[in-house]
Amino acid sequence: MEKICVAVRLRPPVTQEYSGGTFWKVDENRVSLHKVHGTPISGVSYAFDHVFDEMCSNSRVYELLTKEIIHAAVEGFNGTAFAYGQTSSGKTFTMNGSETDPGIIHRAVKDVFGRIEMMSHREFLIRVSYMEIYNEEINDLLAVENQKLQIHESLERGIFVAGLREEIVSDAEQVLKLLESGEVNRHFGETNMNARSSRSHTIFRMVIESKEKDINASADVIRVSVLNLVDLAGSERIAKTGAGGVRLKEGKHINKSLMSLGNVINKLSDGAKNRGHIPYRDSKLTRILQPALGGNAKTSIICTIAPEEVHVEETKGTLQFASRAKRITNCAQVNEILTEAALLKRQKQEIEELRKKLQGSHAVVLEQEILKLRNDLLQNELEREKLESELEEERKLKLNKLGSLDAFSDFGGSSCQPQDSGTQSLKEECNDSISKSQRDLFTTPSSKAVPNAFVARRSNYSPLPGFSPLPDAFSNVVDEDTWMKMNKGYIADLDSIQMTPARKVQSFPPSDATPGNSNENYEEVQNLKRQLELAIEERDDLKRKHEEQVRKHEEQVLLNNQLVSEISELQQEAQLIREIPQRLGECAATCKNIYVDVLSTTQSYISDEKSSAAKLLSSITEIGTSLFTTLEADFSLPIADQRLRIQEQHRVLSERLSSTVKLLVSSETLNIEDEQARKSQECTMGGDAACWKKKLSNELNTIKERHHDLAKELDSHNQLLKKSKQRYESLETEFQLLKEERDSLHKTVSESSERLLLVTDQKENIVKYMKEELQGRKDLEEKIKQFTVAFCNRKTSLMSFHSEFKSKVESLKAENVVSVPKSVGC
Ligand code: ADP
Ligand code: MG
């Protein structure tokens, strides 16, 4: 948490002579009001972070007040510096400076690029914008066509001005040129620049993005900071008593943004506990400066004051405002983000998207569609805003006309063309009001005697004599009481105060516009009709696009369902494959039982347990049983282990089998020899044994073959199992991917549909509103026609009355002429 840095700057006096008895004295960081002979006036002494006297240069102000903020901005902290004070107290001098002593903006721009050069390990992207808030309208000073811009808020960009031109810049000279062209734009078409400067706020904004050059560093982390340099409108109050002691009408017009800034500062200075709701949304200025005032920014305020005694009350007000601002605390932090707002990242993402598109996939087509749709939406939104502002213009024009129509009917259309001397005074009033409205609206007469008023010299752009209008010459400043109370912490209710109506520089309706000008009305109606048709066309187009999108979405859903059923089939197949080892195990167990049965039956035929046939049989039983047990056990193992164990077992069994066979062969040879020796003696026994031997050896071969076949079968099963598993895994991954893709598409499509619905709704509202407008216009036309007819009737009757009256007078005169001589004669 850190406090806002507040400084006060006293500008040099415009004349050397002091008419009054007080003066402001600067002592270190304290400014106090003194009597002319030097005694301080109690209670009028204020201390700040810095107090700069009249000798202080812009360079020193920059060094002590702003430099740190600028450096922090390059490091990623938001920063704001603004100048507050009454007109002609030196705000613009402090911000813009002079040729010999450049101001804060100039120095900040140079310093930013100087710092960037020193930070060679980071790459930077700088964007600048320059705007003006005038009569609560935001105008782009870098692009004259961007007028009446709107403030928006998004998660990624925070609070921003939509449609404001942001120039990407690479050096200080480029920025200074842009600033210069911005100033020219600001002065373009303006008749009284001094008045405008005093009433408008200008905000110069730099967005500084940077990231590490080192590719090993976390490349996604981008620092984005916003630097605002603000020259505020004049903060003067209005005096209730004019020059000749005449009490002025209550000043109820105020500069809304400045009032709202006062309210916000007062609320913020109340301390965290008492704060409550901070009314940032009450004005454009406070909304734009919201982060600078109540949160994540390093902020400094320079309050400029005039030394002349005539300004003493304004100066006190400014110092009270400054004292309150001093209590505000902010909490600035480096803005390291991973958001869309970062242009560097956006560019990277765009490249990535293009690459994806090149690779091609059906999702890309959809993505493109969505992108197109989004652009359309944006376009529509812009057009809607344009239409809205046009409608607003129309409405105002209509109101103006209605006003003049009312006036016209009140005066019976003759107020400016009096027919007799009785209406002379009316004529004077009328002429007076016309001449007043034709003069510059802001050059109202000075109401306060200001013998030593500071004469502000404006920049070269002003074609008028270089003077600032007197503070109380404005209509849009708050009345004395409210303004003074605000400086002391009072929170004004903006709703109860009438704001300055928007002033038009160029598009005033012609002053000779008469209510009977139906041609103009006809054109307007036609124009409105055309706009209505266009809006309807656009709405239909949007509807069509929406339907198309819905159709695509349905197709996608169908495809997804197909994929889901395919995947479930594959899962079943995989389940079957997984069951194969278990079945094989069961099969091996059955085979083993049969085998054991066969062998035990065979063994029961051999009477001599010690005979070689019996030995062989038992050995075969043992081998076979062990073989089957191994098979059974192996089928219950995972595939990889199975293979290893089978190979091992195969090796062991083969060895055992071959040793048994060898044993058998040797015992067989012995048997044969014995048999041959005993052949002559035991002829009957020999036949049986040979028969058994043959049988057993056949059995052995069958078992061998069976074993071999089983091993082969197992191998092929294993391979099949492995392949199926791989296929299942790949299918599962594909399924997951498709599912994700489907979900994201689903989400995007539903978002787009929602937005489309919203836009369609808005369109319909506009169309409805336009229809109402059209109806209103028709009614108006009807009214005008009726009025014209009534007027003609009245005129005709007046004329007939007039001629009747005239003829009566004539006849009376004639009668008198005839009768007089008669009476005289009598
Ligand atoms: P503001 O913007 O507050 O209305 P300006 O900055 O236009 O006031 O100042 C009015 C006049 O006073 C300008 O001509 C300016 O050059 C001059 N001025 C203001 N402050 C100083 C200063 N500190 N030193 C010299 N001249 C100054
Ligand atoms: Mg100024």
pLDDT per position as a tens digit, 752-770: 888 888 888 888 988 898 9
Check if the beta carbon of residue 178 is closer than 8 Å to that of residue 313.
no
Convert the pLDDT of each residue in 493-520 to its tens digit: 665 554 433 333 333 333 333 334 445 5
User: Does residue 461 surpass a pLDDT of 90?
Assistant: no
Distance between CA atoms of residues 652 and 660, nearest Å? 12
pLDDT above 50: residue 328: yes
201 lines ligand 1 (CB under 6 A): no
- Is the CB of 106 within 6 Å of ligand 1? no
- Torsion on CA atoms 245, 246, 250, 255, rounded to nearest 10: -70
| 170: amino acid identity, one letter | S
Our CA dihedral for 255, 258, 261, 265, rounded to 10 degrees, sits at -120
Query: Which atom from ligand 1 is nearest to the alpha carbon of 85?
Result: 3
Q: Whose CA is nearest to atom 18 of ligand 1?
A: 90
Token reading at 69: 């903020």
**Strand-pair partners of 32:** 25, 45
DSSP run (H or E) holding 545: helix 518-605
Across 17-31, 63-77, 578-592, least confident range: 578-592
Nearest Cα to Cα of residue 208 among 89, 125, 328: 125
The Cα-based distances of 766 to 267, 310, 384, 530, 539 in angstroms read 38, 53, 8, 14, 10
**Ligand 2 center to 382 CA (angstroms):** 33
Q: What is the DSSP letter of 62?
A: I
Query: What is the number of the ligand 1 atom nearest to the C-alpha of 96?
Result: 6
Q: Which ligand is nearest to the CA of 86?
A: 1
Instruction: Report how far residue 230's alpha carbon sits from residue 260's, in angstroms, rounded to the nearest whole number.
Output: 16
Write the DSSP string, 5-57.
EEEEEEPPPSSS---SSEEEEEETTEEEEEETTSPEEEEEEEE-SEEE-TT--
Q: How far is the CA of 530 from the centre of ligand 1 (A)?
A: 51
Predicted local distance difference test score (pLDDT) of residue 367: 58
CA pair distance 235, 472, nearest whole angstrom: 11
Q: Is 466 in the pocket of ligand 1 (CB under 6 A)?
A: no
Is residue 101's pLDDT more than 90? yes
Rounded (to 5) percent helix, strand, coil in the chain: 60, 15, 25
What spacing in Å lies between the alpha carbon of 450 and ligand 1's midpoint?
18
pLDDT at 499: 45
Amino acid letter, 606:
I
Which ligand has the nearest atom to the CA of 90? 1
| pLDDT average, residue stretch 786-792 | 88
Question: pLDDT-based confidence at 147, cuts 50/70/90?
Answer: very high
What share of the chain has pLDDT > 90, as a percent? 23
Instruction: Using the predicted structure, report yes or no on whether residue 286 has a pLDDT greater than 60.
Output: yes
The position carrying tokens 């009214």 is: 783
Q: 307 CB less than 6 Å from ligand 1?
A: no
Best of 51, 60, 93, 303 to mutate for ligand 1, by most ligand atoms within 8 A of CB?
93
**Contact yes or no for 286/494 (Cβ under 8 A):** no
Alpha helices in 606-638 (DSSP H): 612-635
What pLDDT, in 10s, does the model give residues 335-372? 776 544 455 555 566 666 766 665 655 555 655 666 66
pLDDT given at position 322:
93
H/E segment holding residue 691: helix 683-825
What confidence category does residue 165 fall into, taking pLDDT thresholds of 50, 70 and 90?
very high
**Residues composing the chain:** 826
CB 111 within 8 A of CB 71: yes
Residue 277 has phi, psi (to 5 degrees) of -75, 130
H/E segment holding residue 305: strand 298-305
Q: What percent of the chain has pLDDT over 70?
A: 67
Q: Helix, strand or coil for residue 102?
A: strand
Q: Measure the CA–CA gap between 644 and 647, rounded to whole angstroms.
A: 5
3-class state of residue 502 by DSSP:
coil
Neighbours of 248 (CB within 10 A): 16
Report the separation in Å between the CA atom of 184 and the middle of ligand 2, taken as the mean of its atom positions: 15
More confident residue, 555 or 141: 141
- For residue 772, what are the contacts with CB-CB under 8 A and spacing of at least 6? none
Q: What is the pLDDT of residue 97?
A: 95
**β-bridge partners, 708:** none
Instruction: Report the distance separating Cα 817 and Cα 709, nearest Å.
Output: 156
Q: What is the pLDDT of residue 508?
A: 31
Distance CA 75, CA 59 (A): 22
For residue 104, report the distance from its CA to the centre of ligand 2, in Å: 14
Ligand nearest to the CA of 469: 1
* C-alpha of residue 177 to centroid of ligand 2, in Å: 20
Q: Give the model's pLDDT for residue 80.
A: 93
Contact residues for 136 (Cβ-Cβ < 8 A; gap 6+):
256, 257, 283, 284, 499, 502
Spatial contact of 199 and 113, defined as CB atoms under 8 Å apart? no
Write down the mean pLDDT value for the chain: 75
> What is the distance between the alpha carbons of residues 212 and 344, in angstroms, rounded to a whole number?
11
The ligand that comes nearest to the alpha carbon of residue 84 is 1
3-state SS assignment for residue 63: helix
CA angle (477 as vertex; 476, 483 as ends), nearest 5: 155
Alpha-carbon span 383 to 766, nearest angstrom: 11
Give the containing element (helix H, strand E) for 393: helix 362-410
Task: Report the amino acid identity of residue 153.
Answer: E
Q: What is the pLDDT of residues 373-405, one digit of tens each?
A: 666 666 666 777 777 777 778 777 766 765 554
